[in-house]
Structure 1
Amino acid sequence: MRFNWIYEKNESLQIKTFLKQQGVSKGLLARVKFHGGKIEVNQEEKNVLYYLHKGETLALTIPDEQGTEAISVSHEPISIVFEDEHILIIDKPAGVASLPSNIYVKDTMANRVKGYFIRQKYASTVIHIVTRLDKDTSGLMIFAKHRYAHALMDQQLRLKQIQKKYVAAINGHLQQNHGMINAPIARTDHSIVTRRVHDSGKPALTEYWVRETFEKGTLAEIQLHTGRTHQIRVHFSYIGHPLISDTLYGAPEDQWISRQALHCRELTFTHPLTKQPVNFKTDVPSDLREWLRHQKIVSYTQKGRLM
């Protein structure tokens, strides 16, 4: 894959410094040098020590990436929300893990995306997951289609520039229509799975808006301001309102939905290569709709319903 820039500054600058400013890592430059890539200025091959001058065109050719056998191929279908040569946005169903593990080996979203890349005969088949979801959480995930896009998206993650909004059904009624849950999250003693609110944990901030209130529960829109494991589930359990059917965090199993009622509905970020703002949304899945269909509405806020 080839990327081009026109150098526009008056003062000269080394290629390696310029590429670092564009988010190109040392590791990626090493792949360019040793695995068939190329750096050209005005169509002449150069090394990273060359000084760019105003008006020169820099071209960076990144070698294709071949996937390893560590991630096997699944030919289960994927639901594509958006795709171009740099990123892939998919709508993950509940019940499918994001990445392979000792428990989930062959049919995770990573396996499915790899199968899709192979069926499409893409030159690069390495899986770059940018955002992931719990196995039983549905909704939008971002995959980068090459190492450079992944590095740029990781930078946005670190700078908290990727906005993720969720829909959740919650047990009970929240006292405020809008609120923030600011409580540190740590691992639970003697468990590698569950998390808890504890002073020893990392800072975690969750913002929510009530959208509909039912006799026995609440539908809320939620925005994460940090990205801790199980953050939404832990925070709402901590304030006494675990998600509907989230048995891991203290809720009884609901007859209408058999997994935690949580769906990543919306993503907003800057496209890593075009630098244009982008926004993606997906519909609430059928099991959450089924739960909503059986609820008696008490009220919904002026900001509007989510369904």
Structure 2
Amino acid sequence: MEQFEWTVTTDQASERIDKFLTTMNESWSRTQVQIWIKEEHIKVNNAKVKSNYKVASGDVVTLEIPEPEKLEIIAENIPLEIVYEDEDVIVVNKPRGMVVHPAPGHYTGTLVNALMYHCKDLSGINGVIRPGIVHRIDMDTSGLLMVAKNDHAHESLVEQLKAKTTRRLYKAIVHGIIPHQHGTVDAPIGRDKKDRQSMTVTEVNSRDAVTHFTVLETFDQYTYVQCELETGRTHQIRVHMKYIGYPLAGDPKYGPKKKTLDIRGQALHAAVLGFIHPRTGKEMLFEAPIPEDMKQLLHQLRTK
């Protein structure tokens, strides 16, 4: 375990502790420092602090860098549809039914297991279970995901998500006929008190959530829509569309209990992904066509 100690000078006073430490060593990202603070590896005057603590002249700052955990994820030779890859990022088109990262009940067969086989250099910011994972989509949602291959790329992509500068468009089939062409759902999302595995629109312990939607096509009892995320909350599109009365077709958690269309899981696909490249600053935009099962559903609805 590496140990460091600094005494804050007058010139350094009033700076946030996380920023102060990144100036002590430029190879440490602010995100990594914040994790060390949360895990109490960083102390000021032998006391724990928060990331927004402002150092004072004479403060003694100590850091004990923990030994890195060895990744215990099994690398599996699972086929991946790589849309783009370079030394910093990978963009993957995830199939419906694949879990993004290991979790209770899903320790193998995940996207992370496949990525560990495909490439050995993934960012370590999210730890052992979620190396490289910047954002997630649900197991039964298909489509585009960006993955970071190093901590610099990871931090940049996370900051873009926080700043709402990434572009994420989804295609979905929902129940009911939406009568207007465009709409925005601005409703906070939090855990459902009645079911801790579900999310719901609530003012209690919630976070702001905004979804924009556009009608692409209407059918007898369904609507084909495009949804754009302004925020990225858990199950956001599924919760918001249910909230306004148009739940996703096939959704086992938020849709009608009676199965309607023949599809495994919700008819939802992450079709467009855009971000600024962490190293080059270039605008990157990727598209993935809807999967075969959604194509078949649309064909059936059009020919009824």
Which residue in the other structure is 1:166 paired with?
170
Indicate yes or no: 2:231 matched with 1:226: yes
- Of the candidates 264, 273, 279, which is equivalent to residue 267 of structure 1? 273
Contact 1:215 1:296 in 2 (8 A): no
Which residue in the other structure is 1:281 paired with?
287
Which residue identity is paired with 1:112?
A: A
Displacement of 1:16: 5.8
Indicate yes or no: 2:189 matched with 1:185: yes
Which residue identity is paired with 2:110?
A: T
CA offsets, 1:179-217, max 9 Å, x none? 001111111114332111112121111000000111120
CA offsets, 1:25-46, max 9 Å, x none? 3847xx9xxxxxxxxxxxxxxx
Displacement of 1:19: 8.3
Displacement of 1:123: 5.5
For the structure 1 residues 248 and 112, does the alpha-carbon distance in structure 2 shift closer, same or farther, using more than 3 Å as the test? same
Indicate yes or no: 2:250 matched with 1:245: yes
| Of 244-253 and 164-173, the range deviating more from structure 2 | 244-253
Which residue in the other structure is 2:111 paired with?
109
In the TM superposition, what are the counterparts of 1:88-103 in structure 2 within 5 Å? Answer: 88-103=90-105
Which residue in the other structure is 1:86 paired with?
88
Which residue in the other structure is 1:4 paired with?
none
Displacement of 1:18: 11
In the TM superposition, what are the counterparts of 1:60-79 in structure 2 within 5 Å? Answer: 68-79=70-81
For the structure 1 residues 116 and 250, does the alpha-carbon distance in structure 2 shift closer, same or farther, using more than 3 Å as the test? same
CA offsets, 1:64-109, max 9 Å, x none? xx98333222211110000000000000001111111012111111
TM superposition score normalised by structure 2: 0.74
Displacement of 1:125: 7.8
CA–CA distance in structure 1, aligned partners of residues 91 and 254 of structure 2: 29
- Would you say how many aligned residue pairs link Structure 1 and Structure 2? 247
Q: Secondary structure at the match of 1:228?
A: coil
Structure 1: gaps (5+ residues): 1-13, 32-65, 299-307
| Of 82-91 and 168-177, the range deviating more from structure 2 | 168-177
Displacement of 1:254: 3.1
Q: Secondary structure at the match of 2:197?
A: coil
Indicate yes or no: 2:297 matched with 1:295: no
Q: Secondary structure at the match of 2:265?
A: coil
For the structure 1 residues 239 and 146, does the alpha-carbon distance in structure 2 shift closer, same or farther, using more than 3 Å as the test? same
Displacement of 1:294: 0.1
| Of 152-161 and 284-293, the range deviating more from structure 2 | 152-161
For the structure 1 residues 18 and 104, does the alpha-carbon distance in structure 2 shift closer, same or farther, using more than 3 Å as the test? same
Q: Secondary structure at the match of 1:249?
A: coil
For the structure 1 residues 177 and 268, does the alpha-carbon distance in structure 2 shift closer, same or farther, using more than 3 Å as the test? same
Q: Secondary structure at the match of 2:196?
A: coil
Contact 1:165 1:265 in 2 (8 A): yes
Which residue identity is paired with 1:203?
A: D
Contact 2:189 2:208 in 1 (8 A): yes
Contact 2:121 2:150 in 1 (8 A): no
Which residue in the other structure is 2:217 paired with?
212
Contact 1:206 1:232 in 2 (8 A): yes
Structure 2: gaps (5+ residues): 1-19, 37-67, 125-130
CA–CA distance in structure 1, aligned partners of residues 86 and 184 of structure 2: 35
Which residue in the other structure is 1:41 paired with?
none
Contact 2:249 2:255 in 1 (8 A): no
Displacement of 1:163: 1.2
- Of the candidates 160, 164, 172, which is equivalent to residue 156 of structure 1? 160
Contact 2:123 2:151 in 1 (8 A): no
CA–CA distance in structure 2, aligned partners of residues 146 and 227 of structure 1: 22
Which residue in the other structure is 1:60 paired with?
none
